Amino acid sequence: MPELPEVETVRRGLVPAMEGGVIAHAQINRPDLRWPFPPDMAARLTGSRVLHLRRRSKYILADLDTAETLIIHLGMSGRMTVSGLAEPFVPGEFHHTHAAAQKHDHVILDMASGARVTFNDARRFGAMDMAPTATLDQHRLLAGIGPEPLGNSFDAAYLAARLTGRRVPLKAALLDQRVLAGLGNIYVCEVLFRAGLSPHRLCADLTPDQAAALVPVIRQVLEEAIAAGGSSLRDYRQADGELGYFQHGFQVYGREGQPCATPGCTATITRSVQSGRSSFWCPVCQT
């Protein structure tokens, strides 16, 4: 499942084609993805201007001048690609001619600029919905989500308050979207390795200094992943069709049985299962 860095990378790739632009024509090629599309979605999108393109947790949000917001979730196999971008964008970064429609091109947005945005999802685990912009935070997909880890409201005091006294594993707490928005399994594994904390450590056993130290590590890992274009696992692609490459810098994720990356450590990376998800960690460096 794409996590915050992948979704943010896609959002940034869509901005030149969508933000400030008018959707000249919206084509919806099936009635649903993971859930049914909202009623009259094509008509509600056609002719609207995209005022802002932003991200909340793992969702891309397109605020329209009709006072509605298009909510986009990539799911496990959803891809959004751009074609037909004009100068001043560097030739080669995006495809400049529209490819023939593919079997799983479920939503196609033709912009008045000539650009085209295509949502392709072979397994249909993605989703799109529309909701009033003014009450978006009450939408069932967005209500109750915690602060953005790269935002100003996420700091040491907040995280310590959310973790202190909780008798749940640290990894489970960091994956809880009510605690923090957008973090997923891959990046929590990487964060905990850099912080030297076991994924099995109970939150209640953290010292205040350890909780505070997690904040800059979380930000650093996410910023590095965004700069690298995300992690390409299975179906994920950027908006220009290219692969992200942060996965080449994984220090623990997917490295079961391989040597620990910490200089001088002779341990190997261990894999364990927590709540049905794989945790990768060094039993020596992470305590």
Give catalytic residues, as residue numbers.
2-3, 58, 277
- The SS3 of residue 221 is helix
Q: Alpha-carbon distance 116 to 111, whole Å?
A: 6
Q: Determine contact, residues 185/272, Cβ cutoff 8 Å.
A: no
- Give Cα separations from 1 to 4, 37, 58, 187, 213 (angstroms): 10, 21, 9, 12, 27
CA proximity to 279, closest of 249, 258, 256: 256
The full 3-state SS of 245-277, as one line of letters, equals CHHHHCCCCCCCCCECCCCCCCCECEEEEECCE
What SS3 class is residue 124? coil
Residue 65 contacts residue 83 (beta carbons within 8 Å) = no
Spatial distance between the Cα atoms of 124 and 24, rounded to a whole number of angstroms: 25
